[in-house]
Chain A
Amino acid sequence: MTRNTRILMSIVYWAFVVYLFVPLLLMVLMGFKDSNFIGFPIKSWTLDWYIGVFKDSEVVSVFLYSTVIAVTSTLISLTIGTWISVLLAGRSFFGRIIIFGLTILPAVIPGIISAISFRIFANLLGIQTGMFAIIWAHAVHNVPFVVLVVMARLATLPKSHTEAAMDLGADKIVSFFRVTLPYLKPALIGAGVFCMLLSFDDFVRSFFLGGYKPTLPVLIFSKLRSGMSPEINAIATVVLVMTAVMGIWAERSMRRMGKGT
């Protein structure tokens, strides 16, 4: 690579970084503005908007509601996804490729299509819109990501490990829980965090399947319709910090556990 292309590359890279982070920075800054309107100049600073977020019982309860949905749907996705991965990673059987295809399908269907189909399906089954319906939709949507990550990890598990467990007296179930599952731990943490973020972030499915109570993105959307205010910036900043912390933690612990195995 010549010197010029290297300089050009780094300019492009830094331009990309600016493009990526300036909007986030603006959003965070506006959350500290002591005014009802978003925009420069910022004449005085305040923490009131943040205090308001934590005092607003609706925001807090919606936040908890979204968290419960994220955690529950993630646990379901992890269970089903791991189950399917182990099934698919075992000896080959008729229809294996079809099952794999069907498993991955929800990941590539456009959100709006899947949301509408979930809604129609829920109506047909008489499932009430609300928490249960949202959890169900999120879980189905997230299974493919779990399967992809877990299958990749499973492919690196030497066959001799499970054979050794069997050899030492373990049946298939004990061998799964004591040897396979610990080996999958980094993959499960990674996939789990990713699923939680996807669920927490999801708007379309939550909007179509939600009942009276909104999830956080739906609440923010409804607040936006009544006009932008720094309160939204404050909510968004809190979410940003929490998800970033979770993502970094997951990445670090995956890397630490992934070593040595």
Chain B
Amino acid sequence: MSNTDNTIVHIDGISKSFGKTVALQKLDMKINAGEFVTFLGPSGCGKSTTLRILGGFERPDGGRVLLSGKDVTHLPPNKRKVNMVFQDYALFPHMTVMRNVSFGLELKRMTKDQIAARVDELLSFLELDAFRDRFPDQLSGGQRQRVALARALAPDPELLLLDEPLGALDARLRAQVQVELKDIQRRTGKTFFFVTHDQDEALTMSDRIVVMNQGRVEQDGTPEDLYLRPKSRFVAEFIGDTNLISGEVKHAKDGKVDIDWFGMNVQGRSFDYTPRTGELVTAALRLEKVGFYDKKPETGNAVQGKIVNRVFKGSRTAVDVRVGDVNTAILKAYVDGDVPDDVWLGWDSANMAVLQD
């Protein structure tokens, strides 16, 4: 295949089963050079299997994997220009930081000087100079994670695989490392293939997120796409906090969909498809997209309601609002500061995405 486009990895219809469990069903995917792609999904969704197939640790039952246009489906891990940061880092306990990082280089027929230069470069790049003679058990979690990254980057791979490498870090450090990792990816220009079940990580770092569920791709898009325009109930619920609004379609045209929601008329947007009139659909509305007003607002959607529950969350308060004529529906929202119990809620119809399933 031609490589005139920017594709570095081409996953061509790979399938994989473990016994009776189907891990991947005919997955097709192209990854561009320099992209930070995150495979996101719950455990057992096939994201780790994809990673292990790219790394060469598993063979797919069917399909091909092309790396820079070359079929690598049946190449073992040591014959691929792909390196991996393992979930437990898998640092060699009997080797110092320096020896760990140089491991991959020593197997590449490089001269001693070349190896030393490359190791120095990486250690200073990842701010590990001070730890070069330490053993892994003398390092903190964050330092270990950086050593694992340095070791994987050392042989200059075409693709870097990261298998939930932040799972072992505490929450505060994780937030910091997310920013660092994205920065490292930008500065090296490497293609990162990141696997996680943590939506926060995915949204923070990725150029592109692939949401996986039961061996299939649920949605593939930018973080904004996934967050604001989820295509399925699964994506809407997996990423962020969301209201799911179900009702019958009264009218749908040009992506604008009028829905009858417990007798209230609300409007949402559909993307890449138009539902039929009379069809039962669900729309996703992010909690923070709901605004509070003391009188009927001029927004696309407006409903009157009464706050029935408040949960203080520090910077904001999560509230449950009973809405509708018969008070049957509940809308969740965030509010800052004081709001009376009787309120008008309003939101833009562009912020309410009609789901395809």
Q: Given the complex of chains A and B, what is the CA–CA distance between A167 and B83 in angstroms? A: 6
Complex Cα–Cα for A161 and B151 (A): 13
Chain A residues closer than 8 Å to B135, beta-carbon distance: 260
B3-11, B89-97, B217-225, B246-254 - interface stretch? B89-97
Nearest chain A residue, comparing its CB with the CB of B137: A260
A158 to B163, CA, bound (A): 15
Which residues of B are found within 8 Å of A167, using beta-carbon distances? 55-56, 77-78, 82-84, 152
**Chain A contacts of B152 at CB under 8 A?**
167-168
B90 touches A161 (CB 8 A): yes
| Interface assignment of B273: CB less than 8 Å from any CB of chain A | no
**Cross-chain contact B86 with A169 (CB below 8 angstroms):** no
Closest residue on chain A to residue B163 by CB atoms: A160
Q: Are A170 and B78 in contact (CB under 8 A)?
A: yes
A49 within 8 A of B: no
Known: A166-B78, A168-B151, A169-B78. A261 touches B93 (CB 8 A): yes
**With an 8 A cutoff between CB atoms, is A183 at the interface?**
yes
Q: A166-B76, A166-B77, A260-B93 are in contact. Are A160 and B108 (CB under 8 A)?
A: no
* Residue B103, interface by CB 8 Å: yes
B158 in contact (CB, < 8 A): no
Whether, in the assembled complex, A165 has its beta carbon less than 8 Å from a beta carbon of chain B, the answer is yes
Contacts A168-B103, A168-B151, A169-B108 given; does A163 touch B93 at CB 8 Å: no
Which A residues are CB-close (under 8 A) to B76? Answer: 166
A58 at the interface (CB under 8 A from B): no
**Interface flag for A251 (CB, 8 Å):** no
B104 touches A168 (CB 8 A): yes
- Give the contacts of B58-78 with A (CB-CB under 8 A): 76-78
Please give the distance in Å from B64's CB to the nearest CB on chain A: 20
User: Does B57 belong to the interface (CB within 8 Å)?
Assistant: yes
- Interface residues in A71-117 by Cβ distance below 8 A to B read none
Contact B107 A170 (CB under 8 A): yes
Whether B94 and A164, one on each chain, are in contact in the complex, defined by CB atoms closer than 8 angstroms, is: no
**Residues from chain B with Cβ under 8 Å of A174 in the complex:** 107
From residue 130 to 164 of chain A, which have CB atoms closer than 8 A to chain B? 158, 160-161, 163-164
Q: Which residue of B lies closest to A182 (CB)?
A: B94
A165 to B87, CA, bound (A): 15
> Majority SS of interface residues in chain B?
loop
Q: Is B305 an interface residue (CB 8 A)?
A: no
Taking CB atoms, residues of chain A closer than 8 Å to B93 are 183, 260-261
B residues near A170, Cβ cutoff 8 Å: 78, 103, 107
Contact of B155 with A by CB under 8 A: yes
Tell me, in angstroms, the Cα distance from A170 to B108 when the chains sit together. Answer: 9
8 Å CB contact of B103 from A163, A165, A185, A261: A165
A161 contacts across to B, CB distance below 8 A: 90, 92
Q: Is B342 an interface residue (CB 8 A)?
A: no
CB neighbours (8 Å) of A178 from chain B are: 92, 103
Q: Knowing A167-B83, A169-B107, A174-B107 touch, does A160 contact B78 (C-beta < 8 A)? A: no
Measured CA separation A158–B107 after assembly (Å): 22
* A198 close to chain B: CB less than 8 A: no
Against B, the Cβ 8 Å flags (1 = close, 0 = not) of A234-261 are 0000000000000000000000000111
Q: Are A183 and B90 in contact (CB under 8 A)?
A: no
Q: Given the complex of chains A and B, what is the CA–CA distance between A97 and B84 in angstroms?
A: 34
Q: With A163-B57, A163-B77 in contact, do A168 and B90 touch (Cβ < 8 Å)? A: no
How far, in whole Å, are A9 and B231 apart by their CA atoms in the complex? 72
Q: Which residues of A contact B55 (CB under 8 A)?
A: 167
B88 at the interface (CB under 8 A from A): yes
In the bound complex, what is the Cα–Cα distance between A166 and B155 (angstroms)?
13
Please state if A163 and B86 are interface contacts (CB–CB under 8 Å): yes
Partner of B104, one of A158, A163, A169, A182: A169
Q: In whole Å, how far is B272's beta carbon from the nearest beta carbon of chain A? A: 39
Closest to B80 in A: A167
Q: Complex formed: what's the CA distance from A161 to B82 in Å?
A: 16
Q: Across the interface, name the chain A residue whose C-beta is closest to B92.
A: A179
**Contact at B155–A169, with CB atoms within 8 Å?**
yes
Complex partner residue of B90 from A164, A182, A260, CB under 8 angstroms? A164
Q: Please name all residues of chain A whose beta carbon is closer than 8 Å to the beta carbon of B87 when the two chains form the complex.
A: 160
Bound-state CA distance A15–B230 (Å) is 77
In angstroms, Cα B136 to Cα A161, docked, is 13
Q: Are B78 and A164 in contact (CB under 8 A)?
A: no
Are B90 and A163 within 8 A (Cβ)?
Answer: yes
The reply to whether A171 and B137 form a contact with Cβ atoms under 8 Å apart is no
CA distance A164 to B85 in the complex (A): 8
Chain B residue at smallest Cβ distance from A157: B93
Bound form: Cα–Cα A164–B92 in Å: 9
Cβ-defined contact, B84 with A164, below 8 A: yes
The 4 closest A-B pairs by CB, nearest first: A168-B104, A160-B90, A169-B107, A164-B90
19 pairs of residues in contact across A and B, judged by CB atoms under 8 Å: A158-B88, A160-B86, A161-B90, A163-B77, A163-B86, A164-B84, A164-B151, A166-B57, A166-B76, A166-B78, A169-B78, A169-B104, A169-B107, A170-B103, A171-B78, A178-B92, A178-B103, A260-B93, A261-B93
Extra contacts besides A161-B92, A182-B92 (16): CB < 8 Å: A158-B88, A160-B90, A163-B84, A164-B86, A164-B151, A167-B78, A167-B82, A168-B154, A169-B78, A170-B78, A170-B103, A171-B78, A259-B137, A260-B137, A261-B93, A261-B137
